[in-house]
Structure 1
Amino acid sequence: MPLRRSRSGRTRFAAVIAAVALILVGCQNGSSSSDHGRQELTVAALPLTDSAALYLARDRGLFAKEGLDVRIRPVQQSIQALPALIKGQVSVIASANYVTYLQAYEKGTLDLRILAEGVRIAPHMMDVLVPKDSAIRTPADLAGKKVAVAVLNNIQSLTLNAILDAKGAGRPVYRQILFPQMGPALERGQVDAVHAVEPFDSAIRGELGARVLLDGDSPPVQGLPASGYITTRDFVQKHPKAAAGFRRAIEAASKIAAQDPGAVRAELPKYTKVTADQAKAIHLPTYPATADPAQLRRLVRLMRDQGLLEKDLDPAPLLAR
């Protein structure tokens, strides 16, 4: 299975926004009227299982039913689309890592609104992998070892730290390596382990025979919200009908994904390099029908515990309803 692109994140937003080039080539306004009368929205999305509801909503006509014409622009990291979102050049970022955008909100970089929930962590949707002949045998052996994550101080390190803390184990040293490069880095010994998400998780295990050391869906992070569909308060205020229609379409698609995993597996080959046969074996996340403030507060508490947020933050007012 070909290795793929990475999940979103951030460490220093001011530097990132100044440095990141706008990769959504040809994208002008995030919201406009199309020739057939539907409101056109541009959505930046990662090619991960997180984005399945977005593609289901498009391909099953759920956006069209709401009077929307959604144009999807793939990105390698959702943080790459942040400048475009702030400027109104994209309307929504899909599969957006909550840790990243809650940090941006606290720092005043982004006036965040969450249109819909994306996915929650499920068994083996992300694993800590080690080489098959590695001397690392238990989570405690990770202490001081080099572990690859897609972005530092993000959902991967947040959840792994929480799992290790609960086990009384020491923390590793994190190295930032994009998902497509994790397999080669592990094979060359540049890192001792990788924290990979699907479909990269299955790819690394299949190509290298890597061994699962730890399921990322372990206490105390089981079922934790991982990503969502985010926008700005300005977009919600200027386009309330489109925002509400987008939310309804995603929630309807998420219900389909939750009730019929086969629909997700059929969709994956359309927007990833995963083949139909490979899609049958991928571990899928949980697709919640609606965003739950109580579950998001779990995430906020973990972020506070690890110093990723300076103040208590109530996510409920950030949900666009």
Structure 2
Amino acid sequence: MIVPVLVSACSASGDNTDNPASGNGLERTSIKVSILTTIDSAPLWLAQDGGYFKAEGLEVEPVVVASGQAALTNVISGNTDIAISSYMPFFVAKATGTADIQLVCAATSVSDKSFAIVATPNSPVKTIFDLAGKRIAMTAKNTATDLLAKSLMQDHNVDSTHVNWVPVAFPNVAAALTQNQVDAALLPEPFITQFAKTAGAIPVIDVNTGATKDFPMSGYGATRKWVQANPKTLTAFQRAMKKATSDAINNRAKIEPLLVKYAKIDEDTAKLLTLPAFGSELDPRPIQRVPDLMLQLGALTTPVNAASMIAPQPPA
């Protein structure tokens, strides 16, 4: 879920003294947020372009990064205040003691046809039972593409230990499939729709089944120190995101132009692709599924309590 780049500054966000709050009572009136140029970021773009942040007295500067890990690194270093990522890096940071991360709001969960294992018609992979012993593209070990594929295989009693996992960035998967470098790949949108057109890729199995049905995919995080120092600023951010997310859910037409503008998805694909399940509110019960799956599959070596990582949420 990574590609084109928006131009934005990457200097350190600094402390409160170089960002004096105005009469609205916020600790900070300007913050930086590490984002990815993916569908997951669409509600933030809507909040920015639609004036939802401005209505809360907040100016948000998006800082585009290439991965969730890079987004997390920016937050840990203080270069940005908040970051969007798949949940995996947040839980790894917590489990390893790298950073005390708080989840500040949700972003997306898996929906029907928004994430799938795909293959080309000439691939030996026709069903999930064909995956054993084959070459499967993933972005990196212990990422969502790795863990969700393994979970799907486990659900169907397919041995994932004999799979040849091949690291391939999402934009390069179509070429890897057509040039017979891999037999299958686990992809999110918009790549499912794009590669159906460019490589003839067809779904083998939808991720939104079994143990990964409605699986939480991404959210926004900040350090506990920042959350505790900026409670009013955080609440303003959360309120704006809640409104933008609600509008994204209820009016797809507001999202499609933003996917073209910021994610550089062509208009036809933006109209055809399946959106993930957007959501801004954090419920510890479904979120706990993420560290539990990571622990089960060896991406974590110690349990993590998701509820302890959820920052204060704004009143309903």
**TM-score, scaled to structure 1:** 0.88
Matching residue's letter, 1:51: S
* Contact kept in structure 2, 1:128 and 1:193, CA below 8 Å: yes
CA distance in 2, matches of 1:315, 1:30: 29
**Residues 1:170 and 1:246: Cα distance change in structure 2 (over 3 Å):** same
Structural RMSD (CA) = 2.1
User: 1:5: which partner in 2?
Assistant: 3
Of 176, 179, 190, 1:199 maps to 190
1:157, CA displacement in angstroms?
1.6
Aligned pair 1:244/2:235, yes or no?
yes
How far apart are the structure 1 equivalents of 2:167 and 2:97?
25
**Structure 1 residue 297: Cα displacement:** 1.4
- SS of the counterpart of 1:196? strand
Measured after TM superposition, the shift of residue 230 of structure 1 is 0.9
Cα distance change, pair 30–117 in 1 and its aligned pair in 2 (3 A)? farther
Alignment of 1:244-263 (within 5 A): 244-263=235-254
> Partners of 1:152 and 1:266 in 2: how far apart?
33
Task: Write out aligned runs for 1:226-245 (5 A).
Answer: 226-245=217-236
Residue 27 of structure 1: aligned partner = 11
Q: 1:42 aligns with which of 28, 32, 49?
A: 32
| Partner of residue 283, structure 1 | 274
Q: Is the 8 A contact 2:134 2:164 kept in 1?
A: yes
The farther-off stretch of 201-210 and 169-178 is 169-178
1:250 Cα deviation after fit: 1.1
User: 3-state SS of the aligned residue for 1:156?
Assistant: helix
In structure 1, the residue corresponding to 2:99 is in which secondary structure? Answer: coil
Aligned-partner Cα distance in 1 for 2:52–2:288: 30
The match for 1:162 among 135, 145, 151 is 151
The answer to whether residue 91 in structure 2 is matched with residue 102 in structure 1 is yes
Match for residue 129 of structure 2? 140
The residue correspondences of 1:286-305 to structure 2 (distance < 5 A) are: 286-305=277-296
Kindly provide the CA deviation profile for residues 173-203 of structure 1, in whole angstroms up to 9, marking residues without a partner as x: 3222111111112222111111111112211
1:92 maps to 2:82: yes
Partner Cα distance (2:292, 2:9) in 1: 37
**Alignment correspondent of 2:101:** 112
Note the residue ranges of structure 2 that are not aligned, 5 or more in a row. none
2: CA distance, partners of 1:279 / 1:102: 31
| C-alpha distance 268-24 of structure 1, shift in aligned 2 (>3 A) | closer
Q: For this pair of structures, how many residues does the alignment match?
A: 302
Determine if contact 1:152/1:175 at 8 Å carries over to the other structure: no
User: 5+ residue gaps in structure 1?
Assistant: 7-22
Mapped contact 2:44–2:241 kept (Cα < 8 A): yes
Cα gap change, 1:56/1:134 in structure 2, threshold over 3 Å: closer, same or farther?
same
Q: Distance in 2 between matches of 1:206 and 1:232?
A: 41
Change beyond 3 A, Cα 1:34–1:191: farther
The 2-side partners of 1:117 and 1:298 are apart by 14
2:207 aligned residue: 216
Deviation at 1:50, TM superposition (A): 0.7
2:55 matched to which residue of 1?
65
CA distance in 1, matches of 2:133, 2:14: 44
SS of 1:280's equivalent?
A: helix
Distance 1:47 1:264 in 2: 13
Instruction: Write the deviation string for residues 209-263 of structure 1: whole angstroms up to 9, x where unpaired.
Output: 1121111212111101010011111111221111111111112211111222222
How many angstroms apart in 2 are the aligned matches of 1:199 and 1:4?
Answer: 11
What is the CA–CA distance in structure 2 between the aligned matches of 1:211 and 1:278, rounded to whole Å?
15
Mapped contact 2:124–2:183 kept (Cα < 8 A): no
Q: Say whether 1:81 aligns with 2:79.
A: no
- Percent of paired sites with the same residue: 28
Alignment match, 2:41? 51
Task: Provide Cα deviations, 1:299-318, integer angstroms capped at 9, x if missing partner.
Answer: 22212211222222211121
Aligned equivalent of 1:15 = none
Identify if the C-alpha distance between structure 1 residues 24 and 191 changes in structure 2 by more than 3 Å, giving closer, same or farther. Answer: farther
CA distance in 2, matches of 1:237, 1:181: 41
Q: Whole-Å Cα distance in 1 between the matches of residues 22 and 258 of structure 2?
A: 26
CA distance in 1, matches of 2:309, 2:81: 16
